[in-house]
């Protein structure tokens, strides 16, 4: 009897760890996937600008720099907000009046 409860507990613990691992993995997967999306959008934007607004090598370099800066800024902002919410230390406590 006792050994059965113990083994059940070990089994449940393993599932629990697996689930929390899955959640953790989902967090990191989400992070990586969205980072990749930002990268792809940045690359597409630079290609589009290169094709549509081709104005000579120095101007193209300026456009590229601007797009890279914009992509990095936007990604940083998103990444900061995402990371802050991955493992929160506090949770929303609703108001009484709702």
Partner 1 sequence: MGERRLCCPPMDLMRSEAMQLVQLIIPIESAHLAVSYIGDIGLIQFKDLNADKSPFQRTYAIQIKRCGEMARKLRFFRNQMSKAGLQSSPGTLPASITNIDDLEVKLASLESELVEMNANGEKLQRSYNELAEYRLVLQKASDFFESAMRSAEAQQREYQSGEESLETPLLVEQEKLVDLSKQVRLGFITGLVPRGKSLAFERILFRATRGNVFLKQSEVNDPVIDPVSGEKGEKNVFVIFFSGERAKNKILKICEAFGANRYPFDDDAKKHTQLINEVDAKLTELKITIDAGLALRGNLLQTIGKEFDHWNLLVKKEKAIYHTLNMLSIDVSKKCLVAEGWVPVFATEKIQDALHRATYDSNSEVDAIFQVLHTREMPPTYFQTNKFTLAFQEIVDAYGISKYQEANPGAFTIVTFPFLFAVMFGDWGHGICLLLCTLFLIFREKKYLSQKLGDIMEMTFGGRYVILLMALFSIYTGLIYNEFFSVPFELFARSAYVCRDPECRDATTVGLIKSRDTYPFGVDPAWHGSRSELPFLNSLKMKMSILLGVAQMNLGIILSYFNALFFKNGLNVWFQFIPQMIFLNSLFGYLSVLIIVKWCTGSQADLYHVMIYMFLSPTDDLGDNQLFPGQKTIQIVLLLLALVSVPWMLLPKPFLLKLQHDRHHGAGYESVPETDGSLFSEANHDSHGHGEFEFSEVFVHQLIHTIEFVLGAVSNTASYLRLWALSLAHSELSSVFYEKVLLLAWGYNNIIILVVGIVVFICATVGVLLVMETLSAFLHALRLHWVEFQNKFYEGDGYKFYPFSFTTLDIDDE
Q: Does 1 bind partner 1 (CB under 8 A)?
A: no
Is 39 or 77 the residue whose CB approaches partner 1 more closely? Answer: 77
Q: Does 62 bind partner 1 (CB under 8 A)?
A: yes
The site map against partner 1 for 9-28 (x = CB under 8 A) is: --------------x--xx-
Instruction: Output the 3-class SS for the chain.
Output: CHHHHHHHHHHHHHHHHHHHHHHHHHHHHHHHHHHHHHHHHHHHHHHHHHHHCCCCHHHHHHHHHHHHHHHHHHHHHHHHHHHHHHCCCCCCCCCCCC
Is 47 or 74 the residue whose CB approaches partner 1 more closely? Answer: 74
Q: Which residues bind partner 1 (CB under 8 A)?
A: 23, 26-27, 30, 34, 57-59, 61-62, 65-66, 69-70, 73-74, 76-78, 80-96, 98
């Amino acid at each position: 009897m006792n050994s059965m409860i113990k083994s059940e507990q070990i089994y449940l613990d393993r599932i629990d760890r697996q689930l929390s691992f899955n959640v953790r993995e989902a967090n990191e997967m989400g992070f990586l996937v969205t980072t990749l999306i930002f990268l792809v959008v940045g690359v597409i934007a630079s290609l589009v600008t290169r094709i549509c607004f081709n104005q000579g090598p120095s101007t193209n370099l300026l456009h590229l720099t601007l797009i890279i800066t914009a992509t990095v800024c936007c990604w940083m902002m998103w990444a900061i907000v995402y990371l802050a919410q991955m493992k929160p230390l506090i949770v929303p406590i609703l108001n009484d009046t709702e």
